[in-house]
C-alpha cells in the first residue's frame, strides 16, 4: 500500500532543513521529492528520470545535507553539472536549504572562473562541491580536490552531459571516487549510454520515474518582462498604472524584509498596499486579507509562505517581482488569480541571468509565456490622462455642480481668465499629487534600457546603444593581476546588459585595470549595472577615461602603454571582441 506524503515532516528530514523549507515557501513535497528523499536518506543509489523544473535539486540536496558530518571539512558530496550556470544554481540551492546548519560550506567550481579563489576555498574546506566535469578533473589531477571522504556523488542532467561530450569525463571521475560511495543520477531521458554508466558504477539502484504532467492555468494569461534588478520597482509601478483590467494585485517577493520594503515604497507612491509575511499574527493576517477582499486595499506584497491558502476572487493580477525558486512554486503563485470563473493575468519579472528559469517554467507548464514590453513614460502619461478624463466625465454625470459653476462664473467675470484658463488651472491643482505630465527623465528611459537587454537577434538598438555608433574607451578596475581575461570581461558585459558583440570593441589588459571600448553614450542604467558587475570577484567600477589616461591608453590597432611608465606593454591575446559572432564555447 502506497503512503501519500503531503508534508516534508513525513520524510524524516532534520528540523533545520524543515525550517528552511518553510521559509522559502515549500508547502509540500513534489512527486520527485517524495519518491527520492526516503531511499537517499537510507544511503541507497538512485536512478531518477524527471524533467528539469520538477524539484529534483531539493530531491538530492536535502538528503545530502541530512547525512553530512559538519565537523569534517573535507568534501563529502560532489555534484556534477553540465554547465557553470547550473553549477551556480545548484550551489545556491544548497546554501538556501542549509541556512540553519552552522558552518556549512558549499563551493561551485567551473571553467572561466579564477583558479586561485577555488584553491583558496578548497584549502579552507568545503562540505559539498558542485562543479563542471572539466574543472573537477583539473582539481583531482592537481590533488586540490581530495575525494577520500566522499559519501555521495550526484550526476545532475546526465543526458545533457552526454550531449555535450562529457561521458568519458564522468566515467573517469567515477573511477576516482571511493568504492563505497552513494551514486545518484538524474536525467530527463535515459539513453543507452546513461544506462551503461548506471550499470557500471551503481549498486542495485532505486529507480524513480516521474511522468511529466501538463500543468496549465487555463484562465490565466502569462507574460514576462525582462528587466534589470535595479529597475524592478519602476517597472512594477508602470505596469500597475497601465494594465487595463487591473482590479487587485498580489506581488510575490522572496523575503519577509522585501515585502515591507516594497509595500512601503508603493504606499509612498500613492497605492493602497500592505505587506503579507510570516511575521504577521493570524488575526492581523485575516484583517489584511479582509481589507483586500472588501476593496480597502488593492495590492498585497507577499512571500510564498504567507500567501498559502489565499483565495480572494478580485485578485486580477499576480506579479512575480522575484522569480520563484522552482516551477511548482510558480504554478502555486499564479493559481491565486483566475478564480471564480474570472480571467487573470500573471506577470513574471526576469533579469538577464534568470532566462534559464523562464524556459523551465514554459516546459513545465507547456505554455508559451509572451514577452511584455515595459511601458514607456509616454504610455504612463497617456494612461493618467485617460483616467483623469474618465473621472471628470463621471463627476459631470453624477454630481450636483451648481455651486461650483457659480464659482467658475465669478472667476470668469472678474476678468482674470477665460473659462479655458480656469479649467486648466483647476486641472493643474487636481493632478499635483499624481502629475499627468511626467517630469523629464534623467538620461534614457528605462523602457529603452529594457529593450537593449533583448537577445541580439531580435533587439532594436536602444537609445545610446547604437550598433553602428562610435566606440569610446572606458576604464574597468580588473586586470592581469586579478587573472582576468578578455573572455571574462566580454562575458560579464554581455550577460549583465544583454549587449551583443557588435557593441563591444577592443579590450586591453594592464596589471591592475583594463580598458574596453563600448558605445559613447551608454544609458545611465546600463553604466550603473556595469559598475556593480563582478569579474574575478571584483566590481568593474566602470568609468570613462580621463584626458591624461586617454593620452597613454592604446588606440585601436596599437600596443597599449603602461599608464605609469609610458612604456609599451605586451598586447593581450584575444583582446578584440569580434562583432556579431558568438564565441565558441570551450569545455568547462
Does position 505 have pLDDT exceeding 50, yes or no? Answer: yes
Does position 423 have pLDDT exceeding 50, yes or no? Answer: yes
Confidence of residue 416 (pLDDT cuts 50, 70, 90): confident
Task: Give span(s): CATH 3.30.70.330, the chain.
Answer: 452-456+464-588
Q: What per-residue confidence (pLDDT) applies to 428? A: 73
Between 413-422, 526-535, 564-573, the lowest mean confidence (pLDDT) is in 564-573
Give the start-end residues of each E strand in 412-456: none
429: left (phi over 0), alpha (psi -120 to 50) or beta: alpha
Radius of gyration of the chain (CA): 28
- Greater pLDDT, 53 or 110: 110
CB 235 within 8 A of CB 225: yes
- Greater pLDDT, 66 or 523: 66
User: Nearest-CA neighbor of 158 among 100, 201, 111?
Assistant: 201
Identity of the highest mean pLDDT range in 97-101, 501-505, 568-572: 97-101
- Greater pLDDT, 47 or 89: 47
Q: Which residues contact 291 (CB under 8 A, 6 or more apart)?
A: 274, 297
Does position 452 have pLDDT exceeding 70, yes or no? Answer: no
Identity of the highest mean pLDDT range in 213-217, 240-244, 319-323, 366-370: 319-323
- Greater pLDDT, 3 or 425: 425
Q: What per-residue confidence (pLDDT) applies to 469? A: 56
- Give CA separation, 9 vs 14, 350, 412, in Å: 9, 32, 75
Q: What per-residue confidence (pLDDT) applies to 551? A: 66
CB 525 within 8 A of CB 538: no
Does position 560 have pLDDT exceeding 50, yes or no? Answer: no
User: What single-letter DSSP state applies at residue 561?
Assistant: B
Q: What per-residue confidence (pLDDT) applies to 546? A: 77
CB 466 within 8 A of CB 502: no
- In CATH terms, is domain 452-456+464-588 a member of 3.30.2130.10? no
Q: Which residues contact 482 (CB under 8 A, 6 or more apart)?
A: 114, 512, 535, 536, 538
Report the top-level CATH class of 220-375: alpha beta
> Stretch 298-303: mean pLDDT, rounded?
93
- Distance in angstroms (rounded) separating the CA atoms of residues 346 and 217: 10
Query: Residue holding cell 493580477?
Result: 317
CB 299 within 8 A of CB 251: yes
CB 145 within 8 A of CB 129: yes
Q: What per-residue confidence (pLDDT) applies to 166? A: 87
- Greater pLDDT, 267 or 495: 267
CATH architecture of 8-209: 3-Layer(aba) Sandwich (3.40)
Does position 528 have pLDDT exceeding 70, yes or no? Answer: yes
Task: Give span(s): CATH 3.40.50.300, the chain.
Answer: 8-209, 220-375
Q: What per-residue confidence (pLDDT) applies to 38? A: 94
Is the dihedral angle over the CA atoms 63, 83, 477, 539 positive or is it negative?
negative
SS3 182: strand
- Distance in angstroms (rounded) separating the CA atoms of residues 489 and 583: 13
User: Nearest-CA neighbor of 487 among 536, 438, 442?
Assistant: 536
User: Nearest-CA neighbor of 122 among 75, 83, 154?
Assistant: 75
Q: What per-residue confidence (pLDDT) applies to 441? A: 56
SS3 539: strand
User: Nearest-CA neighbor of 184 among 68, 30, 35, 40?
Assistant: 40
Q: What per-residue confidence (pLDDT) applies to 249? A: 94
- Checking 486-491 for CB contacts under 8 A at 24+ apart, the result is 486/572, 486/573, 486/574, 486/575, 486/576, 486/577, 487/112, 487/574, 487/583, 488/112, 488/535, 488/536, 489/514, 489/516, 489/535, 490/577, 490/583, 491/112, 491/583
SS3 544: strand
Element (H, E) at 129: strand 128-131
Q: How many CA atoms lie within 13 A of 301 on its CB side?
A: 24
Q: How many CA atoms lie within 13 A of 551 on its CB side?
A: 6
Identity of the highest mean pLDDT range in 286-295, 329-338, 491-500, 537-546: 286-295
Instruction: Determine what percent of the chain is predicted with pLDDT higher than 90.
Output: 32
Does position 440 have pLDDT exceeding 70, yes or no? Answer: no
> Stretch 518-531: mean pLDDT, rounded?
81
- Checking 543-547 for CB contacts under 8 A at 24+ apart, the result is 543/474, 543/475, 544/472, 544/473, 544/474, 544/475, 545/473, 545/474, 545/475, 545/515
Instruction: Determine what percent of the chain is predicted with pLDDT higher than 70.
Output: 81
Does position 434 have pLDDT exceeding 90, yes or no? Answer: no
Across the chain, mean pLDDT equals: 80
pLDDT digits (tens, 9 = 90+) for 216-239: 566 688 999 988 888 899 889 888
User: Nearest-CA neighbor of 252 among 239, 236, 234?
Assistant: 236
Does position 431 have pLDDT exceeding 80, yes or no? Answer: no
pLDDT digits (tens, 9 = 90+) for 93-107: 899 999 999 999 999
Q: What per-residue confidence (pLDDT) applies to 129? A: 96
pLDDT digits (tens, 9 = 90+) for 118-159: 898 899 899 999 999 989 999 999 999 999 999 999 999 898
Does position 310 have pLDDT exceeding 70, yes or no? Answer: yes
Q: What per-residue confidence (pLDDT) applies to 567? A: 44
> Stretch 446-460: mean pLDDT, rounded?
45
Confidence of residue 213 (pLDDT cuts 50, 70, 90): low
Identity of the highest mean pLDDT range in 3-12, 259-268, 444-453: 259-268
- Greater pLDDT, 171 or 545: 171
Amino acid at each position: 500500500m502506497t503512503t501519500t506524503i503531503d508534508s516534508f515532516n513525513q520524510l524524516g528530514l532534520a528540523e533545520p532543513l524543515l525550517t528552511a523549507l518553510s521559509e522559502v515557501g515549500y508547502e509540500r513535497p513534489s512527486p520527485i521529492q517524495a519518491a527520492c528523499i526516503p531511499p537517499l536518506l537510507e544511503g541507497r543509489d538512485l536512478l531518477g528520470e524527471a524533467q528539469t523544473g520538477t524539484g529534483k535539486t531539493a530531491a538530492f540536496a536535502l538528503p545530502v545535507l541530512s547525512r553530512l558530518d559538519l565537523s569534517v571539512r573535507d568534501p563529502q558530496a560532489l555534484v556534477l553539472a553540465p554547465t557553470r550556470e547550473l553549477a551556480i544554481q545548484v550551489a545556491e540551492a544548497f546554501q538556501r536549504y542549509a541556512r540553519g546548519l552552522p558552518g556549512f560550506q558549499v563551493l561551485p567550481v567551473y571553467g572561466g572562473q579564477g583558479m586561485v579563489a577555488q584553491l583558496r576555498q578548497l584549502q579552507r574546506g568545503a562540505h559539498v562541491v558542485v562543479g563542471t566535469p572539466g574543472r573537477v578533473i583539473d582539481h583531482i589531477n592537481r590533488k586540490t580536490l581530495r575525494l577520500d571522504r566522499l559519501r555521495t556523488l550526484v550526476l545532475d542532467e546526465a543526458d545533457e552531459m552526454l550531449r555535450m561530450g562529457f561521458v568519458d569525463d564522468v566515467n573517469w571521475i567515477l573511477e576516482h571516487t571511493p568504492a563505497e560511495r552513494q551514486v545518484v543520477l538524474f536525467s530527463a531521458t535515459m539513453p543507452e549510454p546513461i544506462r551503461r554508466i548506471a550499470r557500471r558504477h551503481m549498486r542495485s539502484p532505486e529507480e524513480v520515474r516521474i511522468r511529466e504532467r501538463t500543468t496549465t492555468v487555463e484562465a490565466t494569461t502569462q507574460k514576462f518582462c525582462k528587466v534589470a534588478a535595479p529597475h524592478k520597482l519602476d517597472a512594477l509601478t508602470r505596469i500597475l498604472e497601465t494594465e487595463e483590467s487591473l482590479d487587485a494585485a498580489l506581488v510575490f517577493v522572496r523575503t519577509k524584509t522585501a515585502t515591507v520594503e516594497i509595500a512601503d515604497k508603493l504606499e509612498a507612491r500613492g497605492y493602497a498596499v500592505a505587506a503579507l509575511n510570516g511575521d504577521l499574527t493570524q488575526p492581523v493576517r485575516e484583517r489584511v486579507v479582509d481589507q483586500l477582499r472588501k476593496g480597502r486595499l488593492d495590492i498585497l506584497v507577499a512571500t510564498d509562505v504567507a500567501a498559502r491558502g489565499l483565495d480572494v476572487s478580485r485578485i486580477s493580477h499576480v506579479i512575480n517581482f522575484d522569480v520563484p525558486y522552482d516551477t511548482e512554486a510558480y504554478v502555486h503563485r499564479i493559481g491565486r488569480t483566475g478564480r471564480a470563473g474570472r480571467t487573470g493575468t500573471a506577470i513574471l519579472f526576469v533579469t538577464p541571468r534568470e532566462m534559464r528559469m523562464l524556459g523551465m517554467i514554459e516546459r513545465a507548464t507547456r505554455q508559451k509565456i509572451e514577452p511584455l514590453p515595459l511601458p514607456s513614460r509616454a504610455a504612463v502619461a497617456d494612461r493618467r490622462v485617460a483616467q483623469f478624463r474618465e473621472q471628470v466625465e463621471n463627476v459631470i454625470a453624477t454630481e450636483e455642480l451648481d455651486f461650483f459653476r457659480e464659482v467658475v462664473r465669478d472667476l470668469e467675470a472678474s476678468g482674470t481668465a477665460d473659462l479655458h484658463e480656469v479649467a486648466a488651472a483647476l486641472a493643474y491643482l487636481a493632478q499635483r499629487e499624481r502629475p499627468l505630465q511626467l517630469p523629464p527623465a534623467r538620461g534614457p528611459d528605462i523602457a529603452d534600457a529594457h529593450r537593449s537587454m533583448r537577445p541580439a537577434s531580435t533587439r532594436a538598438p536602444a537609445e545610446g546603444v547604437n550598433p553602428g555608433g562610435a566606440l569610446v574607451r572606458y576604464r574597468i578596475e580588473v586586470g592581469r593581476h586579478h587573472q582576468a581575461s578578455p573572455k571574462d570581461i566580454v562575458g560579464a558585459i554581455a550577460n549583465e546588459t544583454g549587449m551583443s558583440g557588435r557593441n563591444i570593441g577592443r579590450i586591453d589588459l594592464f596589471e591592475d585595470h583594463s580598458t574596453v571600448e563600448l558605445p559613447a553614450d551608454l544609458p545611465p542604467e546600463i553604466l550603473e549595472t556595469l559598475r556593480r558587475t563582478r569579474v574575478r570577484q571584483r566590481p568593474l567600477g566602470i568609468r570613462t577615461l580621463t584626458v591624461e589616461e586617454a593620452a597613454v591608453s592604446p588606440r585601436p590597432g596599437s600596443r597599449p602603454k603602461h599608464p605609469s611608465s609610458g612604456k609599451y606593454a605586451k598586447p593581450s591575446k584575444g583582446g578584440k571582441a569580434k562583432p556579431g559572432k558568438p564565441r565558441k564555447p570551450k569545455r568547462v
